[in-house]
Structure 1
Amino acid sequence: MNPIQEYFYRIEEPDRSTLLFLRKKILESDKENITETLSFGLPFFKYKKKMLCYFYFSKKYKQHYVSFYHGDRLDHLELLQERRKKFKILLIDMEKDLPLELILKLIQEVKAYIK
């Protein structure tokens, strides 16, 4: 098992399945340009080898989240910046429907800042 797979398999169900589904959708959204690496022990998604977003778990909110690079330029009510300078996070409530359309839209916005 590679390190990225190990990261996901340490997460309990049903969170694991949700994050794996989200991972798949992010990678499929731009198969030619979005890649996945493990940085700082976390799955990072890169667009043309530049930071795009990553998954992590918030101890404060006790929820997984997607953190978006160039988040300081994104203007969506659902995003939290707190003390971050370049990133904003979107909490993923596993009890609700996954906001897949919003996540993919935010990825498109971040990609526009990278170009």
Structure 2
Amino acid sequence: MRNVDLYFLNKEEPFKGCLLALRESILSKDLQITETQKYGMPCYCFKGKAFCYLWTDKKTQFPYILFVEGQYLNHQKLETGKRARMKIFPVDPKKDLPIRTINALLQDALLLYKNGTIPV
């Protein structure tokens, strides 16, 4: 079993289910998306270049999607925090996933790589 698989299996519900749903949503966006583990977290690459990560907030343990090139994405629910380049999209695992918003953000992020804004 891969370390990235263990990352998900070692989580407790409802966090595990939420993270697995996010994982499936990310991987279903394009056949060229691959999953690996970097910095201890699941990393999703498009043509070998990292475009997002899944991680959990240290205090709440709530999951979030970290968009590597978040500086190019504009959405009211994206948070910058102290980051200059990356933005996160926090998710409440106790509520229904805002799947339309998540899918739109993932598509927008992938488009940056597909249209050459971010070279791959």
TM-score (normalised: structure 1): 0.91
Residues 1-115 of structure 1: matches in 2 within 5 Å? Answer: 1-31=1-31, 33-115=32-114
Aligned AA for 1:103? I
Computed over aligned residues only, the root mean square deviation of the Cα atoms, in angstroms, reads 1.3
**What secondary structure, in the 3-state scheme, does the structure 2 residue paired with 1:96 have?**
coil
Which runs of no fewer than 5 residues in structure 2 stay unpaired? 115-120
Runs of 4+ in 1 over 4 A off after TM superposition: none
Q: Find the counterpart in structure 1 of residue 118 from structure 2.
A: none
Compare 52-61 and 69-78 and name the one that shifted more. Answer: 52-61
- Which whole-Å deviations, capped at 9, do the CAs of 1:60-91 have from their partners, x for residues lacking one? 45421110121111111101001112110011
Q: How many residues align?
A: 114
**What secondary structure, in the 3-state scheme, does the structure 2 residue paired with 1:110 have?**
helix
User: In the TM superposition, what is the alpha-carbon distance from 1:17 to its structure 2 partner?
Assistant: 1.3
TM-score (normalised: structure 2): 0.87
- Which whole-Å deviations, capped at 9, do the CAs of 1:77-111 have from their partners, x for residues lacking one? 10100111211001110122101221121111111
Distance 2:75 2:96 in 1: 18
- Which whole-Å deviations, capped at 9, do the CAs of 1:4-46 have from their partners, x for residues lacking one? 1111111111210121122112111212x11101111110011
Q: Conserved in 1, the CA contact under 8 Å of 2:50 and 2:68?
A: yes
Query: 1:80 and 1:60, CA in 2 relative to 1: closer, same or farther beyond 3 A?
Result: farther
Percent of matched pairs sharing the same residue: 38
Distance 1:97 1:64 in 2: 13
Aligned AA for 1:18? C
Q: Conserved in 2, the CA contact under 8 Å of 1:52 and 1:107?
A: no
